[in-house]
Amino acid sequence: MELASAQEPVHLILACEGVTFADKIGNGEPVHQQEVSNSIQSEVQLDDVAKAVESDGVADSSEPVAEEPQRSGRGGRTVRRDYRRDATMLETGSRKSAWQLTVTKALDKFGKDAVKSLCAELLQMHNKGVWRPVSLQSLSIQQRKKIIRSSMFLKEKFLSTGEFEKLKARLVAGGHMQDRSIYTQEDTEAPTASLQSVYMVAAIAAHEGRVVVTADITGAYLNADMKKEIHMRLEPKLAELLAAMEPTYQQYISHDGSLVLSLEKALYGCVESAKLWYDNISGLLESIGFQQNGRDRCVFNRVVQGVQITVCIYVDDLILTCVKPTVIDDVLKQLSDVYKDITVHKGTVHSYLGQTFDFSVTKRVKVTMEGYVNDMLEEYQIEGCAATPAADKLFSIDDSSALLIKGLKENFHSRVAKMLYLAKRVRPDIVTMIAFLSTRVLGPTEQDWGKLERLLKYINCTKDMGICLETGAELYVLAYVDASFAVHGDMKSHTGGVISLGRGPVYVKSSKQKLVSKSSTEAELIGVSEVLPQVVWTREFLQEQGYQCGAARMFQDNQSTIALANKGFSTSEKTRHIAIRYFFVKDRIDGGEVVIEYLPTEDMVADVMTKPLQGSLYRKLRSLLMNYE
């Protein structure tokens, strides 16, 4: 990784705020922190969000692209698909949603703004005491062997609406070089709030009229102390820049220009950093009176002045809800006293986890990802519309269909991954299609590409859709479970499940069953057994939040399955072979945790999660599923 080309001196790149600043560095003079701070503080804002970055899957435009053989289209006319255009579309499309850039690309694109971000990132590390410089000669041979590398990236950040927010530099340690043998699983596994928990917290906040505040802790990981000895090498150009801002580093620079640092804080990229940060913030919340939800370790509650305040943690992004705004303010003050730099957003509309949460309508919250959808459609240059996400024969596989060429195969994989990200959040109406296409990414064919194109056209004509969450007058769990019998080529069935707190989904499931069932009754029972654990978890989560919920209501459209589940055993020769493990449903019924009720097929919301429906039935069930007008 290079900050500049070999012919381009650092001081030319750093000429970001007048001649004096550049000349000092060019002449080898020290540049003090305050000078750098003054040059960047008016334009650079940092928020150090510690989240995994998705690959954009751009195909290599230099890769030879084979022509597709001509084939007969409708009416006998000859058609030719432009695979060269498809394979390179990611490169020619909009880059508005780019996740991260190399330093070289960022310098080319943003110039001095990129330099300011680099300066700010290094300065933040120094000011927070993330490391201390060490002399290479002072380290033993074993310590030298364990020195890990570092990398600097720059990331364009956008709000959920698609508006540009900031350019953020990120220094990352090479955690892949760490010795994993000295860590236990507990040392490296850090929880984050499940999306279902986030949606339930939001739905409850809307129903109870709670004030909602989102907060972002700047440089979150850097607040946690490192517990093991880790030495990291800073590349020469970055070492030179750091020494220019703080001359005390100069004496530690090695003969090759690099700088070895001993990490004192949990730097991004180290295998234990996420867990250290979680331990830090969860410990702080517990020290000020919060209690952890027993079903989600990232949801905390506290009763103050007779009302509950809930804090949900997703890495360094927090959402706080309470009916009294002063209670939220007091907690934010306590957090600010420790973490110093916290960005707080108040109001009825929030950009959180790449999604827009809109609480402006009483007792409901709309969740959308309009920026993400628009950028994706612009990037892929999608034109045209489709009334439904898939045709009737979604699950059929044409073995004679040609495999996609390499560039297009990578493009297919990337597009499916991006739509999976969308489907798991605010577009449950496409989950069934994505569940199938996800199984095709290793060997996609022209037939699969056609199915993918139809799905994108459907999204194009429904791009403003999302989900709307509401709860009933009393809080209870509603679950809808359905199964399509032997719809796959290997005669396996497909399970669909939807969980709601009233209207709008907090959880959906669409998956191919692992066993071959011998009847529709058996397939439905397998479906019930697959969804039930999540239903039980949802009910227990609400109880941990302090709500006394009655039995969860699970709806089924197969009378035989309901009878079989209620009896807990089979008296028919046709169903005796069904494994006993599926009858644990009976135990949950007897324990008062769940009741199974009949619902006609035409009203079965989960039906849309099991097969590609069409026409008015699809539109009706989609409306019931998403509750979005």
Model pLDDT, residue 24: 39
The whole-angstrom separation of Cα 245 and Cα 31 is 5
Model pLDDT, residue 574: 62
Amino acid at 63: E
What letter does residue 247 receive in the DSSP assignment? G
CB 550: neighbour CB atoms within 10 A? 13
Question: How would DSSP label each residue in 209-248?
Answer: T-EEEEEEETTGGGGSBP-S--EEEEPHHHHHHHHHH-GG
CB 256: neighbour CB atoms within 10 A? 11
Give the pLDDT band (50/70/90) at residue 225.
very high
**CATH 3.30.420.10 residue window(s) in the chain:** 470-626
Q: Both tokens of residue 216? A: 């972002």
Per-residue buried b or exposed e for 618-629, using 16+ beta carbons within 10 Å of the residue's own CB: beebbebbbbbe
Across the chain, what does the average pLDDT equal? 84
CATH code for the part of the protein at 470-626 = 3.30.420.10
Query: Residue 581's closest CA among 528, 535, 538?
Result: 528
Residue count of the chain, please give it.
629
Model pLDDT, residue 386: 96
Residue of higher predicted confidence among 597 and 21: 597
Confidence check: pLDDT of 490 > 50: yes
Query: Residue 311's closest CA among 322, 303, 299, 323?
Result: 299
Model pLDDT, residue 583: 77
Segment among 66-80, 116-130, 407-421, 565-579 with least mean pLDDT? 66-80
Question: 68 CB contacts (<8 Å, ≥6 apart)?
Answer: 80, 81, 83, 402, 446
So what CATH class is 195-218+275-346? alpha beta
* C-alpha 568, offset from chain centre: 39
**CATH 3.30.310.200 residue window(s) in the chain:** 195-218+275-346
- Average the pLDDT over 453-468 and give the result: 96
Model pLDDT, residue 100: 62
State residue 211 phi and psi, 5-degree precision. -75, 135
pLDDT digits (tens, 9 = 90+) for 304-356: 999 999 999 999 999 999 999 999 999 999 999 999 989 999 999 999 999 99
Give the pLDDT band (50/70/90) at residue 466.
very high
The whole-angstrom separation of Cα 541 and Cα 577 is 34
Model pLDDT, residue 54: 28
What letter does residue 445 receive in the DSSP assignment? B
pLDDT digits (tens, 9 = 90+) for 385-423: 999 999 999 999 999 999 999 999 999 999 999 999 999
The three-state secondary structure class of 498 is strand
Confidence check: pLDDT of 368 > 90: yes
Query: Residue 430's closest CA among 493, 353, 376?
Result: 376
Give me the half-sphere count of Cα atoms (radius 13 Å) on the Cβ side of residue 147: 20
pLDDT digits (tens, 9 = 90+) for 574-601: 666 676 767 788 899 999 999 999 999 9
Residue 169: left if φ>0, alpha if ψ -120 to 50, beta else—which one? beta
Confidence check: pLDDT of 173 > 60: yes
pLDDT digits (tens, 9 = 90+) for 95-123: 343 346 677 777 777 788 888 888 889 99
Model pLDDT, residue 10: 38
Question: 298 CB contacts (<8 Å, ≥6 apart)?
Answer: 191, 192, 193, 194, 197, 278, 282, 312, 313, 314
Query: Residue 57's closest CA among 86, 16, 77?
Result: 86
Confidence check: pLDDT of 87 > 80: no
Element (H, E) at 106: helix 103-110
Model pLDDT, residue 322: 98
Cα first-last separation, the chain: 49
Model pLDDT, residue 511: 96
What letter does residue 132 receive in the DSSP assignment? E
Amino acid at 199: Y
Query: Residue 432's closest CA among 348, 378, 497, 529?
Result: 497
What global pTM score does this model have? 0.82
- Average the pLDDT over 31-50 and give the result: 34
Give the pLDDT band (50/70/90) at residue 5.
very low
Query: Residue 160's closest CA among 348, 345, 368, 359?
Result: 368
Residue of higher predicted confidence among 519 and 584: 519
Model pLDDT, residue 104: 74
Model pLDDT, residue 299: 98
- Average the pLDDT over 146-159 and give the result: 86
Give the pLDDT band (50/70/90) at residue 288.
very high
Confidence check: pLDDT of 510 > 80: yes
* 575 burial type by CB count under 10 A (0-12 exposed, 13-18 middle, 19+ buried): middle
Model pLDDT, residue 37: 38
Model pLDDT, residue 49: 23
The whole-angstrom separation of Cα 147 and Cα 90 is 37
pLDDT digits (tens, 9 = 90+) for 228-254: 999 999 999 889 989 999 999 999 999
Model pLDDT, residue 153: 85
Give the pLDDT band (50/70/90) at residue 18.
very low
